[in-house]
Structure 1
């Protein structure tokens, strides 16, 4: 009788474990079938993992991984009110200020870009003032952050003109017109490149293209600019 008493709980315990296992399998199978029915998977809904995210996760687990470098101050910029900047600038001509008006609503004809031209502690600002009718450049300016404010360090107001940042240099394009040329059809263009040196912009390259003329024509003289 003693042996029979010892064996009965063992058999009952085994039957209970089998029942629990069967219920767990059925529950897992039900969840799997529900997921298949909806067609959704977490990875697909959220998109595939990006390679840089995967690489970052691996780097975090490396014992000797170096922390990411902090961003340089010159790699950041603060958006400015370019309209107020131009209108309050004593170096901008009265004509440009007078004609700087919204084209539609409160949209002013300005092209504003930020970049590193002078090696300052903040991004430099290049502002092009355009006409509303045909987007012709009437003034180009470069502002450099100095002592908590922006200082005009370059201007070109010989219309049509347009300035932009090209691999750390300032590139200024000026359309060239003969007396009979319409605004839409200039005779050529001058492209002048400036680099920052000793506290001012210095011309480092000049290229003239004569539209519709044979190669080797006489270049148009470069008009003088104010470089601060």
Structure 2
């Protein structure tokens, strides 16, 4: 069973934000309304898909090796379901040119099993064939995507009595890459209780988003050895069995409840 104590506590804190502010920069009481449905993002013709973006096993393995990701999220990152398979990881990846690296940047979202609640959003930049985490947001509910060549981070806002499927609204922040950091350039709030919900601008942060303390990570795609996330100095790490062919492997799906 996955340990969701830290996640539940964080969601409770965000629900508190929706009602009373709780000392954060999200202001005003939010009323309940249905959450928007997720739509598939279109890709430019001929856009190259990073191999790891369609390999949930390799993607999960890389996240578990990234010590800048919180220990609880790394430890709990495992396939979902009673009849779980290696492809049933609660994660997905968007991609695009956000940082002018050596290849498409990855926006990786980690969710809970079942309700698909976003618990972490990360951006991985490729340099020299390896990925390094350059942005992390572990304030659930959170979801990241590439929108118009920019990074968009959305936080769903709940009242304390809201079900996961029904959010009061959402805060959306847009970031661009400048001088080796992501900088917030736009922010808005959408109230889903409004008759015609429209994003309303809110103040942005002028400080660069902090860089996670991450190291360069080899994607370790099929055919290479993958260290165990729990390996210690007491012995060598086992090698990973090659992932199934693309004909039998499903691509990660978008987060549920969005």
Measured against the shorter chain, the TM-score band is 0.5 to 0.7
Quote the Cα distance in structure 2 between the aligned partners of 1:78 and 1:219: 34
Residue 191 of structure 1 deviates from its aligned partner by 0.7
Q: 1:110·1:128 contact (CA, 8 Å) conserved in 2?
A: yes
Aligned to 1:181: 162
Quote the Cα distance in structure 2 between the aligned partners of 1:171 and 1:195: 9
Q: 1:123·1:144 contact (CA, 8 Å) conserved in 2?
A: yes
Correspondence for 2:65 among 88, 101, 106: 88
Correspondence for 1:100 among 77, 82, 95: 77
Aligned to 1:199: 180
Kindly provide the CA deviation profile for residues 18-52 of structure 1, in whole angstroms up to 9, marking residues without a partner as x: xxxxxxxxxxxxxxxxxxxxxxxxxxxxxxxxxxx
In 2 relative to 1, CA 78–211 (structure 1 residues): closer, same or farther, beyond 3 Å? Answer: closer
Kindly provide the CA deviation profile for residues 164-221 of structure 1, in whole angstroms up to 9, marking residues without a partner as x: 00111001111011222222222110011001111111001001012215889x9899
Quote the Cα distance in structure 2 between the aligned partners of 1:112 and 1:219: 27
In 2 relative to 1, CA 226–138 (structure 1 residues): closer, same or farther, beyond 3 Å? Answer: farther
Aligned to 2:145: 164
Quote the Cα distance in structure 1 between the aligned partners of 2:77 and 2:51: 19
Structure-to-structure mapping, 1:1-228, within 5 angstroms: 76-80=48-52, 81-103=58-80, 104-106=84-86, 107-213=88-194, 226-228=210-212
In 2 relative to 1, CA 220–93 (structure 1 residues): closer, same or farther, beyond 3 Å? Answer: farther
Unaligned runs of 5+ in 1: 1-74
Residue 156 of structure 1 deviates from its aligned partner by 0.8
**Greater relative contact order (Cα 8 A, min sep 6): structure 1 or 2?**
2
Taking structure 2 as the reference length, the TM-score comes to 0.53
Quote the Cα distance in structure 2 between the aligned partners of 1:211 and 1:145: 37
Larger deviation: 98-107 or 201-210?
A: 98-107
Quote the Cα distance in structure 2 between the aligned partners of 1:97 and 1:220: 33
Quote the Cα distance in structure 2 between the aligned partners of 1:220 and 1:165: 21
Quote the Cα distance in structure 1 between the aligned partners of 2:161 and 2:194: 16
RMSD (Å) for aligned C-alpha atoms = 2.8
**Rg bigger for which structure?**
1
Residue 95 of structure 1 deviates from its aligned partner by 1.5
Quote the Cα distance in structure 1 between the aligned partners of 2:112 and 2:169: 20
